[in-house]
Amino acid sequence: MFENLGFAAYDGVALDDAASLVPIDLKRPNPGTDDVVVQVQAIALNPVDEKQRAALNQQQAPRILGYDACGVITAVGSGVSRFKPGERVMYAGTTKRPGSFEQYQAVAAELIAQAPANLTAGDAAALPLVGLTAWELLFEKMNFVPAAQANKGKTLLIINGAGGVGSMLSQLAHWTGMTVLATASTRHFDWLARHGVDVPLNYHEDLIAAVHAAGYPVVDAVAILYATEPYLDLAAQLVAPFGHVGAVATPQGPLDVTALKPKGASLDFEFMFAKSDFHHDMASQGHILSQLATLAAVGLIDPSVTTRFDKINAANIKTGLRTLMAGHQAGKIVLDGPFEA
Amino acid sequence: MFENLGFAAYDGVALDDAASLVPIDLKRPNPGTDDVVVQVQAIALNPVDEKQRAALNQQQAPRILGYDACGVITAVGSGVSRFKPGERVMYAGTTKRPGSFEQYQAVAAELIAQAPANLTAGDAAALPLVGLTAWELLFEKMNFVPAAQANKGKTLLIINGAGGVGSMLSQLAHWTGMTVLATASTRHFDWLARHGVDVPLNYHEDLIAAVHAAGYPVVDAVAILYATEPYLDLAAQLVAPFGHVGAVATPQGPLDVTALKPKGASLDFEFMFAKSDFHHDMASQGHILSQLATLAAVGLIDPSVTTRFDKINAANIKTGLRTLMAGHQAGKIVLDGPFEA
């Protein structure tokens, strides 16, 4: 019997290596003053899990990854008044503390929100990381207005519209009245349409010509949800004056952003762990999650789960991560408990 | 007697060359439907004048530079209802049409605003280009709020705080309650203090250490009003998570913006001619100028004129441009008419 079963990574060995994620028994955490402790019921996977794991170099202490969870609060710190044991919550958490690949996880109360009652734990776990990324990019970095129909007449082009962040971003933009153009494989065009995309674009084709042919000489914003380099020049050509080019990937070297200057355009980096890494306005993430929960509760956004596992174990996590890293996944992969060694 | 005396540039010869700015007689323009024609009373100089002139290559038609003017409307187009002849207005205009180095200039009505009654024509001419640049950078690109005390608790670091744009930016930021740090030569520290700067920084010293020593581990925004390259790394180190790094200079090549990513920071290019170059939201510039006029009328911003000439002629324009290009000028250089061949 485990006190707190977790899946630990110590080194960036191949994902298929038996040592890549090791079941271990952890101490059950006590909540810090401003923490809650959550019994994790479901987790969702993200590329950041595998990127962080692959970059590990002989950790002495177990590194517990996992940045999307839904679960039930079992304990609260003395400084926490907004939540109480028994409530079901969702969160992404922070890379600075153990993640959700464990049965009992301590997380700062300001980073969490109540999970929508009408969602399964798996669906709720699929919302936080992609929802925070999409919300922050669209409303905090690109400065569109987070309210129904508030951005009518504005246009957004999403590069990689069918992925986890893309599927959330298209729905949020659609909710605010924007016209959404998005690239994907043609086999995902139905998926795009169901997630608020007005103009699907085949990512194999000449995108500038396709955007122009669809009737848009420029777009107000371009979200590059893929490597930045291959799409930066296209984004600079298509973005409107004073427009926004968003990027979520770390550049591999210097970027030629010269073409943004004559348009007075912005290059907006979005990184949802920046707030918790630097203890900057962390409470805003709990607030954003509350708004995402409301939108999900009334059906205005869908958690976009396409792959479900019914046990949280090392084999399922690895299978899910392999699928994610292959790069053709539409929507989210969730593991809807229980934990199993 | 000239019908419309102008100073024409045909080629990027040395500024001291007699052919660099040639007095010529132009046809007096008729207003287009949405234009006004202005009898120019005063102009202000900007580095963009000399940069554009030096880049010219054997123009057949005269190129009339000049992007800051105050004057009296002599005619209005049939579509113009907001202005009438006799009104005194100010504007920067557009690089796509003849500028203000001429006695009678046609300009789109949406790009102009009434000049403050309590300002001389020279002071009013000093406001538009730097005012538009500073306003757009601070309020449209960096998204601070354009209202008195609205940004209290926020911090702005200005690289080159004593120049034309810097002096306007510091005053606008101060008006909105921001704490302003700015670099300059120590001999301009009094100037900085009179223009809303709270923390003057000697640009010869280690700026990161100086900002930290002043009690600011990070700042919410950094405005690089100089070449971007030498200050980008410093800006990335000092900018707060989700903060803004503004730039007004065209990069000379690819930029290493990698350090902005972990902070989720933005690189905001500001170029006040982007709106008129692309016919994008041009009316916003008339609206901004109206607000600048109001702030100047009540003394909340000062046009920051340090050098005045009392005739608009080629010799004075050249002397002023030489001073500007030397790069040590605090504030603005104005030529307060009349025109003289």
ipTM computed for the complex: 0.92
Cβ neighbours of B267 in A, within 8 Å: 257, 266-267
Quick: pLDDT tens for B199-231.
Answer: 999 999 999 999 999 999 999 999 999 999 999
> Does B337 score more than 90 pLDDT?
no
DSSP collapsed to 3 states, chain A: CCCCEEEEECCCCCCCCCCCCEEEECCCCCCCCCEEEEEEEEEECCHHHHHHHHCCCCCCCCEECCCCEEEEEEEECCCCCCCCCCCEEEECCCCCCCCCCECEEEEEHHHCEECCCCCCHHHHHCCHHHHHHHHHHHHHHCCCCCCCCCCCCCEEEEECCCCHHHHHHHHHHHHCCCEEEEEECHHHHHHHHHCCCCEEEECCCCHHHHHHHCCCCCEEEEEECCCCHHHHHHHHHHEEEEEEEEECCCCCCCECCHHHHHHCCEEEECCCCHHHHCCCCCHHHHHHHHHHHHHHHCCCCCCCEEEEECCECHHHHHHHHHHHHHCCCCCEEEEECCECC
**Among candidate residues B144, B106, B91, B114, the one with its CA nearest the CA of residue B28:** B106
Quick: pLDDT tens for B163-187.
Answer: 999 999 999 999 999 999 999 999 9
> Does A319 score more than 90 pLDDT?
yes
Token digits of residue A80: 């926490």
> CA of A252, closest CA in chain B: separation in Å?
8
Quick: pLDDT tens for B32-59.
Answer: 999 999 999 999 999 999 999 999 999 9
Residues constituting chain A: 341
Please, are residues B4 and B25 in contact by the beta-carbon 8 Å criterion? yes
Quick: pLDDT tens for A175-220.
Answer: 999 999 999 999 999 999 999 999 999 999 999 999 999 999 999 9
Q: Is A261 on the interface with B (CB under 8 A)?
A: yes
Helix/strand/coil for B98: coil
**Whole-number pLDDT of residue A21:** 97
Cβ neighbours of B232 in A, within 8 Å: none
Average pLDDT across chain A, whole number: 96
Nearest CA in chain B to A229: B254
**Whole-number pLDDT of residue B328:** 78
Across the strands, what pairs with A316?
A: none
Please, are residues A255 and A279 in contact by the beta-carbon 8 Å criterion? no
DSSP 8-state assignment for residue B45: -
- As a whole number of angstroms, the distance between CA A7 and CA A163 comes to 25
> CA of B240, closest CA in chain A: separation in Å?
8
**Whole-number pLDDT of residue A35:** 98
Which helix H or strand E contains B238, and what residues bound it? Answer: helix B229-238
Token digits of residue B25: 């007689």
**Whole-number pLDDT of residue A166:** 96
- As a whole number of angstroms, the distance between CA B285 and CA B112 comes to 7
Token digits of residue B270: 């500001």
Quick: pLDDT tens for A293-311.
Answer: 999 999 999 999 999 999 9
Please, are residues A106 and A31 in contact by the beta-carbon 8 Å criterion? yes
Q: What is the mean pLDDT of residues B315-337?
A: 91
Q: Which amino acid is at B324?
A: L
Interface test with B, best of A143, A237, A242 (most B CBs within 10 A): A242
Q: What is the mean pLDDT of residues A329-337?
A: 90
Please, are residues A221 and A176 in contact by the beta-carbon 8 Å criterion? no
pLDDT category of residue A269 using cuts at 50, 70 and 90: very high
Please, are residues A4 and A38 in contact by the beta-carbon 8 Å criterion? no
Phi, psi (rounded to 5 degrees) for A197: -85, 130
Which helix H or strand E contains B128, and what residues bound it? Answer: helix B128-135
Is the CB of B275 less than 8 angstroms away from the CB of A140?
no
Q: Among B258, B263, B274, whose Cβ lies nearest the Cβ of A264?
A: B274
Quick: pLDDT tens for B59-85.
Answer: 999 999 999 999 999 999 999 999 999
Please, are residues B10 and B58 in contact by the beta-carbon 8 Å criterion? yes
Quickly tell me which residue has 């187009």 as its tokens.
Answer: B77
Q: Is B233 on the interface with A (CB under 8 A)?
A: no
> Does B327 score more than 90 pLDDT?
no
Is the CB of B267 less than 8 angstroms away from the CB of A262?
no
Is the CB of A242 less than 8 angstroms away from the CB of B266?
no
Please, are residues A236 and A245 in contact by the beta-carbon 8 Å criterion? yes
Q: Which amino acid is at A80?
A: V
Q: What is the mean pLDDT of residues B279-287?
A: 96
Q: Is B247 on the interface with A (CB under 8 A)?
A: yes
Q: Is B241 on the interface with A (CB under 8 A)?
A: yes
Is the CB of A254 less than 8 angstroms away from the CB of B255?
yes
Q: Is B264 on the interface with A (CB under 8 A)?
A: yes
Nearest CA in chain A to B271: A264
> Does B329 score more than 80 pLDDT?
no
> Does A330 score more than 90 pLDDT?
no
Q: How buried is residue B54: exposed, middle or buried, by Cβ count under 10 Å (0-12/13-18/19+)?
A: middle
Q: What is the mean pLDDT of residues B304-312?
A: 95
CATH class of B5-127+278-336: alpha beta
Q: Is A157 on the interface with B (CB under 8 A)?
A: no
Q: Return left, alpha or beta for B306; rule: phi > 0 is left, psi -120 to 50 is alpha, else beta.
A: alpha
- As a whole number of angstroms, the distance between CA B222 and CA A195 comes to 37
Domain ranges of chain A: 5-127+278-336, 131-269
- As a whole number of angstroms, the distance between CA A41 and CA A54 comes to 26
Q: Is A274 on the interface with B (CB under 8 A)?
A: yes
- As a whole number of angstroms, the distance between CA A158 and CA A248 comes to 12
Is the CB of B256 less than 8 angstroms away from the CB of A256?
no
Q: Is B230 on the interface with A (CB under 8 A)?
A: no
Is the CB of B257 less than 8 angstroms away from the CB of A241?
no
> Across the A/B interface, how many CB contacts are shorter than 8 Å?
118
Q: Which residues contact A100 (CB under 8 A, 6 or more apart)?
A: A40, A43, A66, A67, A68, A69, A71, A93, A125
Q: Is A28 on the interface with B (CB under 8 A)?
A: no
Quick: pLDDT tens for A16-42.
Answer: 999 999 999 999 999 999 999 999 999
Tell me the angle at which helices A47-54 and A314-326 cross, rounded to the nearest 10 degrees.
Answer: 100
Q: What is the mean pLDDT of residues A122-132?
A: 98
Q: Is A250 on the interface with B (CB under 8 A)?
A: yes
**Whole-number pLDDT of residue B330:** 81
- As a whole number of angstroms, the distance between CA B219 and CA B155 comes to 5
> CA of A141, closest CA in chain B: separation in Å?
7
- What is the rounded end-to-end Cα distance, in angstroms, of chain B? 10
CATH pick for A131-269 out of 3.40.109.10, 3.40.50.720, 3.40.710.10, 3.30.465.10: 3.40.50.720
Q: Measured between alpha carbons, how far is residue B67 from residues A142, A166, B77 in Å? A: 30, 43, 21
Is the CB of A261 less than 8 angstroms away from the CB of B272?
no
Q: Is A141 on the interface with B (CB under 8 A)?
A: yes
Please, are residues B243 and B220 in contact by the beta-carbon 8 Å criterion? yes
Q: Is A256 on the interface with B (CB under 8 A)?
A: yes
Is the CB of B251 less than 8 angstroms away from the CB of A268?
no
Is the CB of A275 less than 8 angstroms away from the CB of B255?
no
**Whole-number pLDDT of residue A323:** 93
Q: Which amino acid is at B71?
A: G
> Does B248 score more than 90 pLDDT?
yes
> Does B331 score more than 90 pLDDT?
no
Q: Among A262, A271, A275, whose Cβ lies nearest the Cβ of B277?
A: A262
> Does B7 score more than 80 pLDDT?
yes
